[in-house]
Structures are given as C-alpha cells and as structure tokens.
Amino acid sequence: MVTAVGDRVLAVAEIEGNIVFVFGVGVYEGMEIPPPGVGRNLALDLEYELMPTAKIRLDNGEIVWGCECHFGPEQEFREVIRRQIPTAIFLPINLRAWRIENALPWVDL
C-alpha cells in the first residue's frame, strides 16, 4: 500500500483478536519530526534522533504519528484487515487517553 500526501488513511492503534482499535480516519500530511512528549518508545527515540515519521491529521483535528500507529489508505487498509480477520470489529478509541495509558516515565540520565 502506497500512501501519498493528501490521501485519506485509517489509523489503527492495535488489534486484539478480532477487535481493531482505531484512532480514526484522517489525511496523511507527509513526514515530520514528532513534537516532544508523544509518549511512545519509538516516538521518543525519533525525537532524540530528529528523524521524521508519518504525520496524520485525524478528522477530529488531532495529530497521530506513524510511530504510534499502523496506517494505510482507508478502504484498502480496511479490506486487508477484513481479509485477515473476517469478523473484524472496528472500535474507535480516544488518542489522548491511549497516550496517557501508554506513556513512558521520563528518566533523568
């Protein structure tokens, strides 16, 4: 699946059994460096390395980063998931709550 800037994408947090936890649908805005405090191991590493990752602006205005999710063109990604999990249930989840739950403690080295 190739994603171009401006494409509509589906952002998935994770899959457990047949439940697909979805951040939402939005627009792929290209590659950028995530801001401090995104809250995931990889996101923190990317901040320190200053490496860009995919930026997705969800329809509700929130930004989710490629290092926080799996994503792809909306319809194509749904079809891929449904082929692999015919009984898939797409369940929306709150991005902010997910970030808090998955946040890592800051360690002063």
The Cα-based distances of 55 to 3, 10, 69, 76, 85 in angstroms read 12, 12, 10, 19, 27
Query: 106 versus 54: which is more confidently predicted?
Result: 54
Q: Does the predicted TM-score (pTM) go above 0.75?
A: yes
Query: Is 109 a domain residue?
Result: no
- 41-71 pLDDT, tens digit per residue, is 555 665 566 778 899 999 999 999 998 999 9
Domain hosting residue 31, numbered range: 8-101
Backbone angles phi, psi at 87, to 5 degrees: -100, 20
Query: Is 2 a domain residue?
Result: no
Tell me how many domains the chain contains: 1
Query: Is 79 a domain residue?
Result: yes
